[in-house]
Structure formats: C-alpha cells, structure tokens
A and B are shown apart, each in its own frame.
Chain A
C-alpha cells in the first residue's frame, strides 16, 4: 500500500468515524443521554458486534476497550494494555487512555468524573462479547443502571458507510485472489492444513489481518470444517469458507472445488445451488423481510426434491452479516430482519445434497434498489483442480 493511499484511507476513515459518532449522538439526544460507553471485548468474534471498534475503527489488542462518547466534548478511547498506546495513538483519531486490564473499569469511572458526567444520564453498548463480569460491573462503576444502547449501534452499523465499504471491497478482492491461489497451489497428495496455511499467508501478505477460514475435503463431505492432515485425493471436493478481514471488516466467499474434473452429477447439483443463490440475490431488495429471501433460496432446492435438506442439520443459515458493528441480517427462520439499502452480508445456500455431499456456494453481497449485488462481481462457479 502506498503512502498516498494510506493518507486517503485516513481521510475516509476519520470522516466515517465522525459521521458514526454524530449519528449516535442524535440517537442519544432522543433519550436525553449525556454520554455513551461503547464497550469492546478483545475476544474478537466473527459473529459478535464490537461497539468500541465500530465507533473508533481501532482493532483492540487487549481484553477491554471502550469509547466514551459524551454529547458535548471530545470522545476518549480507553484501551488495554498500556503498552499498546502508541499504536492506538497513531490509528485512532481521538484522545487515548491506555491502561492495564485491571485498571480498565476504574479508568472509565475516573474519565466520567473528570468530565463531570457521572451524575448525568449514561448509556452502555456492551456488544455480544461483553463478559458477564463487565456487564455486572457497569451499575457500580457508573453509579446508576445505564440505558442499554446495542440496538442503536447495530441499526447504524448494518448500513455500511464509506469506510466500511472501502474495507469490505478490499477484503473481497483479497478473498477472490486467495481462492485463485488455492486453485494454483492445491494438488492431490497435499494435506489440507498445508493448503490452508498457504492460503492464509497469501491473503495476509495481501493485507488481511484476520480470517475466518474453514478448508477441508472429502469424496462426500458432511460439512465444511477445520483443516486436518488428510491428503487431497482425486475426486475430493475441497470446501472453503474464505473470510479475510481488512481493518476488522470481514468478507466471506464460499467455494467448492473438485480435485480433478467435476462429474456431470456434481455440475448439476452445484448448478442448483447457483440457481438458489441467484434467486436469493434477485429477491433481496430494500424492504423485503429476510424470511422471504430464505424462501426464495430454498424454493428451487425444494422443487428439485431436496426440501428436507434445506433445514438443519443439513445446513445452518442462508446467510449472515460479517460486520463487527451489527449482526444483521441473519437469513434464517426466526429472524424478523428487513433488508435495507447498503447492507452487506454473505448469502450462501451451502448445504448437504445426498448424491454429492455438502457443497458451498456463497457470495458477499450489497443490497441495492435492484436486489443484492455480489461484491466479487460474480456468482461462484464449481472449481476444478486438474
């Protein structure tokens, strides 16, 4: 990455962070809240929102961090451990307090006191990874039962802004290149974990700082899983959930690759999943409930005689958010999420088919007025390593 692009990144990032904070302040004003503590857990999760990360764009190293966002005055980012201060100062465009983990809560308390906010109305967004001990401690630290503010953060974060999309598009490019690398590198006789390691390091060198990756192969897969030392063999189907992260924004592609030429049966069944994915993308328009899209994805599969396989344990979900700011949308029954323009998530009719085993076919998409568009610019094909 050039110095020039780093500078332009910084401008986009800082502008987006300012807009995020301004939008949250608008929500705070509606409830007369004087300050928000947006907590972040260092137990980074692919499926758990991190409010501190969202309001700072800083990926924490230590177990705890928080953005203290007052209605009036500048925010402060409290991070752990203290020795990570310099990195934080360079990357986060706000005042920083870096402390040892044991001093995290007392530092939040003292910062609120310093700003004479302790007797004011306070809110907390803890996110999904907040330890119970921290959740239990807020009342004591703040001297009041705070207003819980996760929903407001999630509602804002689920609509991607310029910085989020910049990172997501960069991650999509890395994921595509990563899969191309797999096609070039993987060969019969190689252990799965060596292919996984090569892919991991290839994408790291392209700038992916983290990765949610499952990579495994079988003649008849029951599901995707972590890599083992099994050797790739002719006729195996190599499954890959490849999810590089750029600045904390994850972006997933799901791929199925036959070691050797795909059979007509494999082509036919994979085409069924492609049809399902295209149907889902067409249906996923602003205002449409997720359950309608789940049904659109399931219909061609059910029509082909596989209705029982459109449910667990043969699949898990038809898609999900990958952003650490919001876990919406989740494309499965029981979720009442509604699609909105500029939501980004992975749509994946990954599932077991009795004749071929489990297959993966998924793209990261963005919701537009005309449906979901793949950030990769393609719909996954059935790969082949000859």
Chain B
C-alpha cells in the first residue's frame, strides 16, 4: 500500500531482545553463509545508503543487524559480522544499544574503504564477494564502492538475499504479530474516536497516538478525510463524514502489519467477500493471478476498479511491500512461509468497503497471523 513517507522514522527505537534475541540473528547469519558457500562466494557486503534519517530499504541490513539504519555490513564465512557506520562517530554510543553486532566501526565518508579493510583483516584481499544494496545507491556512491573494491570479483547477491528473506522464520512471524497488535489497537482507537462523534481527522490522530504510545517505530495512516478516497494527514478542516475508512500500518522492530476500519459496516460487505475468495485460493504454489481474479469476480465493475487501483495486497515483512503484488497479470506463485497482506478497497456508487487480512502462506492454505501483545506496552 502506498503511503506518505515521513522524513524520519522517529518512534521507539529499541532492540527488543525478548522478541529477537542474539541467537536469532546468529541463525540468520548461518543461513546466509550457507548460500554464500553454495555460490562460491567468500564474503557478503551489504550497503544501505540511508543518511540522516532518510531510511531507504533497510530490510537486508535489518535482517542481519537487527536495526533499521543506514550503514554497511561485512559478513565473511568465519567470525561475527562487522558493521560500518556512515556517520562521523557521534552516533556510535547509540548504535551499540541497538544491535547484537559487537564489531562496529566508524566509516563516515570512507565507509567503503573500511569495508575493504575489514575483508583484508579476514584474509580476503581479492576474493569473490557478494553484494547487496549497491545498485540502490546514487551513481557517485556506486563509483566509490567499485573503486574501494577494485580487484575483487563482485557478484550481486540481492536476488538471492530476497529469496532468503521471503519465507519468514518463526520469530519474524512473532514480530509481525507484534506489529499487528499495535496496528489493531491503533485502528480501534480511531474507531472509538469516530464512534464518539469525532471527525475523520480526529480518528486519524487518535490512531496515530495509540500506535506511537504502543511502541511503534513508524506509523502510516490514511483515511477518508475528503470524500471516499484515502488521504494522508493534512491540515484540513475537521469535517466529520458519514463513514470512516481508516488504514493503519505500523512498524515494530522493522516488521510491518496493517489494520483497517470501515464504519459503519458496509452494506453487503463486498470487500469481505472478495477477501474470502482470495483466501480460498491462496496456498503455497498457487498462481497469484488466480487469487486476484477470484477477488475481482466478487466485485461489481466500479469496485473492481478501485480495488485494483489501491492494490489487492502484497507480501509484507521487513518492508511494507516486499514487492510481490497480488494482481491478475502476475506470473508468480505464492511461496511457502511468506506473509501476505491481502487488501480490498471496494467502492462504487452504492457502497464503500475496505478490509484487510494478514496471512501466513502454508502448503495447505493460509492461516491468520496472530496478534502478539507486548509485555509492558
């Protein structure tokens, strides 16, 4: 789902070691190493070129480091990973509280050279190195990276890493469940405000407040504050509309989940019917196009159009959209162990209905991700 990107992901920033302990990350490193070895690679260099809060796709970095940040990682076949900061050093004290990685170095403007030094310390002078995130950098930084790794045989590992990340580990399902719990509580707070006579904008604000107090790191909210379309927060008049359509997405420990509100309940529940149709078709190996077509078949023509425009859903995890879209033209199939966020925004002249469902894909079908209440939240 497309949403307004904030300039800084500024909610609670903390490593939840009860949810994602050190041994979880050590296990992930072992999985990545096995794939490196299988491909004949001696090490992996991960770059997330995010500076001053402009957080790009942090998923690869966070998968191994446990923190959502810009920076670089070096993972060799032996020894613990090394993290290299893009900052000038004043951030180090804070970073050390956010990750299980112990070897953290200040890279600053020389971060790529530091990465190469780390490889050299591990006896890898001119090796075959897998890379992740390099193509996402500006052209000038790609040149810097290539220069620092001059003489190495670099091989893009992005696609392999995406495959590793796609199927979720048990603790990732828990983390998504924790985010889902915050999102549902936030949506409930929005609904309560609306039910008590608040405006649609008031409902948005109540939802965001509940999410932030509920320990969210990032919050995205859209609502029908002007007509039946979803909109981001804007400084607009606090008009109350006859219905509330509210979408809340929450990130906790890097993991995303969504929840929605349609109030009052839409006549005929067309979005629910379409969601049920998708659930009935979804299982590991199922064609994504067939799942999408099943939903569209349950909707009237105008509602089909809005459902496709807003999207019927996607894989979710360390990204709000992991890039596998539920669409009738898709040529992909569902992968076992992925988490699917299905979504139907069905609007026509008679009704507007919006529903979502967060599901784990298994060989036998799909099962709902269970919300996980955080202790102390």
Contacts and interface: CB of A to CB of B under 8 A. Distances in A.
Nearest to A320: B52
Given A86-B227, A209-B235, A313-B88, A43 B5 contact: yes
Interface stretch (B120-128, B130-138, B291-299): B130-138
B56 A43 contact: yes
B158 interface: no
Contacts of A204: 205, 208, 233
Interface stretch (A44-52, A146-154, A258-266): A44-52
Contacts of B226: 86-87, 90
Contact of A228 (B12, B52, B205): B12
Contacts of A86: 226-227, 229
A171 to B, nearest CB: 11
Contacts of A140: none
Interface residues of A, number: 63
Contacts of A245: 7
Interface stretch (B17-25, B176-184, B209-217): B209-217
A61 B4 contact: yes
A185 interface: no
Contact of A47 (B54, B93, B94): B54
Contact of B97 (A46, A228, A312): A228
A342 to B, nearest CB: 23
A100 B327 CA distance: 13
Interface string B36-69: 0000000000000001111010000000000000
Given A132-B136, A132-B139, A228-B12, A44 B309 contact: no
A193 interface: yes
B196 interface: no
Contact of A43 (B2, B54, B87, B139): B54
Contacts of A222: 90, 92-94
Interface string A160-200: 00000000000000000000000000000000011011001
A315 B10 contact: no
A250 B230 CA distance: 24
B7 A45 contact: yes
Nearest to A87: B231
B8 A213 contact: yes
Interface string B59-101: 0000000000000000000000000000111111110010000
A225 B94 CA distance: 7
Contacts of B285: none
A229 interface: yes
Contacts of B91: 223, 225
A81 B309 contact: yes
B235 A229 contact: no
Interface string A72-105: 0000000011111111001000000000110000
Contacts of B88: 312-313, 316
B328 interface: no
B7 A63 contact: no
B3 interface: yes
Interface string B160-187: 0000000000000000000000000000
Contacts of A216: 94
A14 interface: no
Given A48-B54, A227-B10, A228-B13, A200 B232 contact: no
Given A84-B229, A312-B89, A200 B212 contact: yes
A223 B93 CA distance: 8
Contacts of B8: 46, 211-214
A227 B13 contact: yes
Contact of A61 (B6, B53, B232, B306): B232
B233 A209 contact: yes
Contact of A87 (B213, B215, B229, B309): B229
Nearest to B89: A313
B349 to A, nearest CB: 16
Given A222-B90, A223-B94, A44 B205 contact: no
Nearest to A133: B135
B357 to A, nearest CB: 20
- Residue among A214, A226, A352 with the highest chain B CB neighbour number at 10 A: A226
Contact of A197 (B89, B136, B137, B209): B209
B14 interface: yes
Interface in A202-217: 204-205, 207, 209-214, 216
A42 interface: yes
A223 B95 CA distance: 11
B98 to A, nearest CB: 9
11 contacts: A3-B237, A46-B8, A47-B52, A81-B309, A82-B309, A87-B226, A193-B11, A214-B8, A227-B11, A228-B13, A229-B215
Interface of A: 1, 3, 6, 42-48, 59, 61-63, 80-87, 90, 100-101, 129, 131-132, 135, 193-194, 196-197, 200-201, 204-205, 207, 209-214, 216, 222-223, 225-229, 245-247, 250, 312-316, 352, 358
